[in-house]
Structure 1
């Protein structure tokens, strides 16, 4: 069995011990982290190496930043999303190959800041992601695209009243861009296992969102076809949100059957 997870930690330096505890308890083969909020050279790679995990990091001072922790030999494929560039650059994508799979770890722009330009950047990222997914499919590659998508795909993925109707995470164009990924042939891991129901991955720090269970499902793992055939489980680690000084997101963990042969 293979296990991987995605987690927006909202500052790795504040949540380092949370991540170490999660690794000790769950022992994922791969853990994708977003919003690490530190430069690459300040990432606590030594702490994770001490417990058996190598780190692949694309950092940025104070903002954004993505990293992948893995227990297995790996190759770095991309340190940015092909076809998506900003000035100045934003650390929002890293991709590795390990265990016969490509893992693309993404932190998609929220789209609510920066006016129309900010929202256009969100859609441009999603367009580039779809083109990259298509290229991977055409190459016959088995892959997972996981991370903080900043998209509630359906109304069921947003607690009533949690967001304004015109929020960038809910807009029709945002949801259409997410569906484009599914129409390529990718599988939303959680919805493949749990077709209905509230399975939130984010609760805001404001307005007692956690206490009221006013959450969002915005962290996703999308699987290419042969990977989806191996899917066993997919579930958010909801209890993480109730721990002291938590991230506002929780891990989404996925398990797969071992590859044939």
Structure 2
């Protein structure tokens, strides 16, 4: 999922730089392209805020920029495809792509763990139920999800040890193993329930795989910025003004960055 920004259709504006001499024309143009890419990044973040319901910081920072250089006069934007620990084994592209192209939601790590344990039936996914404690983004809180997985023996290895409930006194005192169980309607599993004393609530419901419609207009947003000749020409003028003040970058590398910059 990648969009690019170049000056290939701005012949007059590019020709006007030729008189600068040396490598300065390409440096000025690369500076202008990078400024335009940052504006596209800000527009994408605004789009994310508009179309996603309470987007997490991981989602709001999902866009990456590959900066232009004097030797490669093109800037690119794409949704990060690298996995990291903070995103729980998923790359941002995994959960953003269905919002761009439409289609089914991908598995979460918790769902894979529950399936591997034989708790979550094949083809089923989990959503918060009435007893779930939601975080500020509307997801099941990380602490409660850890308790659920631990109590059901479905926690994955963490820092060299398995985080499942055990028969130790400390683990028994927490009570997670006794608290969480699979709730069924007849013989059909319908979710995960939690019982603490006389209080019984359903914390996770089992549902069919969620399907998303196209709503995050990633390519449309990038194209709108990339094809705005007036915007890029204005950025070239700003880059020329910086060059006149000796502020054009002199060292270049293909910077990969995730946050918007002015």
Q: TM-score, normalised by structure 1?
A: 0.19
Question: Which is helix-richer, 1 or 2?
Answer: 2
TM-score by length of 2: 0.19
Higher relative contact order (CA 8 A, sep 6+): 2
